[in-house]
């Protein structure tokens, strides 16, 4: 089962016009939920671009950011099994398997964090079982959309929740 976990702006973007990703709000409720979800996954899944960002930040996170979320999540990230899908990456550290083709992903409970390109590929192949979209109270006015060139498909809303009085979670199943 693959869950796509994604932060988006109110106008549907995952990055601002210049690639900005400084706007997601990680309040205490949102942080606790994120930690819980990560703990339920067999594998944390990434595309190459998000992997590069995560593998730079989380191994040294405590030196870069002293927020409560960072201090709690950094050890979980380092210890969790991870997978990255990339045509060019040959190996990755931090307990990470590399797959060159999404079709080779094992049948595990995976959470795909961000990554619109990989999400689009997995969506096209009908490999994503649920979409966990966190809508943040910001309008970016452009940037990278949550879904890149999707074919039309229907979703069923299975849960909605408000975190920290500001962020709306929408859980959709295929």
Nearest CA among 157, 152, 162 for reference residue 173: 157
Query: Measured between alpha carbons, how far is 6 from 96 in angstroms, rounded to an integer?
Result: 20
- Asked whether residue 25 carries a pLDDT value surpassing 90, the answer given is no
The average confidence (pLDDT) of the chain is 93
What percent of the chain has a predicted confidence (pLDDT) above 70? 99
For 4-18, 37-51, 136-150, which range has the lowest pLDDT when averaged over its residues? 136-150
Name, in order, each residue with C-beta under 8 angstroms of 172's C-beta and a sequence gap of 6 or more. 130, 131, 133, 155, 156, 157, 158
Name, in order, each residue with C-beta under 8 angstroms of 169's C-beta and a sequence gap of 6 or more. 33, 132, 133, 134, 135, 159, 160, 161, 162, 163
CATH number for the domain formed by residue range(s) 41-141: 3.40.430.10
Q: Which pTM value belongs to this model?
A: 0.91
């Amino acid at each position: 089962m693959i869950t796509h976990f994604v932060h988006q702006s109110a106008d549907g973007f995952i990055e601002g016009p210049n690639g900005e990703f400084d706007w997601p709000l990680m309040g205490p409720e949102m942080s606790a939920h994120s930690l819980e979800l990560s703990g339920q996954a067999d594998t944390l899944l990434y595309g190459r671009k998000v992997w590069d960002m995560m593998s730079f930040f989380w191994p040294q996170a405590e030196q870069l950011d002293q927020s409560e979320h960072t201090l709690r999540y950094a050890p979980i990230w380092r210890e969790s099994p991870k997978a990255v899908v990339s045509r060019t990456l040959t190996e990755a550290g931090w307990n990470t398997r590399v797959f060159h083709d999404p079709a080779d992903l094992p049948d595990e409970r995976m959470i795909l964090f961000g990554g619109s390109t990989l999400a689009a590929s997995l969506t096209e192949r009908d490999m994503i079982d649920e979409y966990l979209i966190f809508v943040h109270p910001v309008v970016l006015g452009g940037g990278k959309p949550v879904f890149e060139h999707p074919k039309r498909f229907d979703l069923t809303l299975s849960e909605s929740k408000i975190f920290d009085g500001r962020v709306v979670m929408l859980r959709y199943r295929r």
